[in-house]
Structure formats: C-alpha cells, structure tokens
Amino acid sequence: MSEELWQKYYGQPNPIYGNKRQYGMLLDLNKCLGCHTCTIACKTTWTDGPGQENMYWNSVNTKPYGEYPRQDANAPDGLDYENSNLYQDVPKGVYPDLWQFYLPRPCNHCSRPACLPACPTQAIYKNDDGIVLIDEDLCQGYKNCIKACPYDKIYFNQVTKKSQKCIMCFPLIEKGEEPQCVKSCVGKIRVFGDLMDPNSAISRLIRDPSLGAKAYDPEIQFKAVTRYMTDADRRQYRADFGTIPSLWYILPKNVPEEELEKYFGGAMRGLIGQPHTPEARLKYKKT
Ligand code: SF4
Ligand code: SF4
C-alpha cells in the first residue's frame, strides 16, 4: 500500500464534505459463508416500516452467478424453474481448479458519492462520520439517486414514494456499537472502523497486511481478521466507478487474476499504488 495515496484519500478531512471521520469496513472474502445472516440482521433491525417488505440494504452476491434457470430439454419452455435455486452456486473452472466466492455488498458510503449530487432536493448528505444518509423529509421521490448510484444500492419505497438505503447503523455507532451486519457476521469476516484514524485496526490492516499474521494476538485485538491476509490484496469493489468506496475487501484465494480484475480491477490499482498503464485500461475495458 502506498502511504502517499492512502494519505491523499484518508489522511485529512474530506475535501468536499468536510467529514473528519470516514467509517468503513474491511471484509475477508475467503471467510464469507454466503449465509445471509448479515442481510437478515440488517433487515430485521431497520426495514420494518410500510413498503419495506422487498428491501435488502445488504446483499450477498454469488460470484460467479450460476445458471438461472437451468436449461431443461423436457420442460415445456426448455427451462427448469422447479429446481432453479439448485444451480445458482455453481463453481467455475475445471476440477481441481474450481473457484467461487460470495460478495457481501451494503452501501459503500463513498467519499465521493455519486448519489449525493444527483439529488435535486439536497436530501442526501454525508454526516460527520462519513455516513451517506437520505433525509426522507426532503426526498421528493425523483429517483435520480437510484439512477446515479453505480452500485445499485438505493431502493425506492413504493408505498412511501421515498428513496431509502443502508444507514450504516448510525444510531448504533453513535452509542459506541458496531453495525448489525458486523456484529452478526457468522464468518467474522468484517472489520469495522474509521479509515481516517491512522491507528484504527481497519486502517492499519489495509495499509500493513503483515499485521494479519497477528490476527489472534489479544494485544492487537484484530479478532475478525484472517491469518491468510498477508497473501492477499486489499481492494475496493469496482473502484473504477470513481466514487472512492469505504468498503474494502481481502480478495478470495484461488480465483484467476483475470476474473478478479472484473470485480476488483480498474482504478483501484491506482489507489493502492500500482501504475495505470494504457494496456491495463484496455484489458479492463474488455471485461
Ligand atoms: S454506494 Fe451508491 S448509494 Fe452508497 S454512497 Fe456510494 S453512490 Fe451513494
Ligand atoms: S453474515 Fe458474514 S459470513 Fe454470513 S453472508 Fe454475511 S458477511 Fe458472509
């Protein structure tokens, strides 16, 4: 990790929004079980109002996504809907070189959120902790934010006619607690903290992966971090969108580099200090 680049993005208050803290997460994709406990913990905590039946602020995507529905030559329309879920989690590759992983994705609480300037009524703002929130009293339901977010992380409530999104459990954070998806995570894959605090576990772990080897040292208290972290990069998902996501991932092992490039390639290479060559950009465009 280039310390210079880290300082550029996290070493000072956000130059546009002024927040002096930027809460974020580091998620170890080697340890995600795809159990969706995080999704349910979030949903049961915050999405109990009118029109929120179909909302999922935290999603967990299967990569690669399997065949859905699968072809069935005997079915009237040639598709097997009866067993459709059965084929979603299908690894890619040829044995023994198989790969698959789960990708948990709440809102990225971006440092330069695309959703925020898209709102014509200024309902979206970043709070002092860097959390991107929607003031539902100001939201007029124009849906511009939904179109603007490249991560598809804003939902439109058809009953209240308001946009809604992950709030990073800010009421819990203000009480000194961690977000529900972090507390409930079965695989203990999530490290939560302030990216702008140079001494926080999350910023130290992203900047210095060798600390991962001491994950179980009680003095360091990095309780949720993999032993294998020294071997993996820490990257943001689709950082090429240019919004500076506050969610970071420890990349899954055994996934071919060209596949990782699809999900974690592009501009993040610049952020972690690797050169942005014309060849690399061309390669990324093709995927
Ligand atoms: S992920 Fe989307 S909704 Fe969340 S802050 Fe970034 S642009 Fe906005
Ligand atoms: S609770 Fe943890 S292990 Fe389970 S899907 Fe969510 S992030 Fe993955």
Q: Which residues of the chain have pLDDT under 70?
A: 1-2, 66-69, 84, 209-232, 266-287
CA distance 69 to 164: 30
Domain covering 3-60+102-286 in this structure, CATH number: 3.30.70.20
pLDDT of res. 127: 97
Q: How far apart (Å, rounded) are the C-alpha atoms in residues 75 and 18?
A: 58
Tokens standing for 209? 């992966």
pLDDT at position 149, please? Answer: 96
* Residue 3, both tokens: 């310390």
Query: Which ligand minimizes its atom distance to the CA of 118?
Result: 1
DSSP structural state of residue 163: E
> Is the C-beta atom of 69 inside 6 A of ligand 2?
no
Which among 60, 183, 190, 191 is the best mutation to test ligand 2's pocket, defined by most ligand atoms within 8 Å of the CB? 60
First-to-final CA distance of the chain: 25
For residue 250, report the distance from its CA to the centre of ligand 1, in Å.
20
**156/150 Cα distance (integer angstroms):** 15
Q: Quote the pLDDT of residue 215.
A: 52
What is the distance between the alpha carbons of residues 275 and 287, in angstroms, rounded to a whole number? Answer: 19
Q: What is the pLDDT of residue 211?
A: 66
The token duo for 143 is 């849906």
Domain boundaries, the chain: 3-60+102-286, 65-99
Distance 59 CA to ligand 2 centre (A): 10
**How far apart (Å, rounded) are the C-alpha atoms in residues 133 and 124?**
6
Distance (Å, whole) CA 113 – CA 150:
10
Single pTM value for the model: 0.85
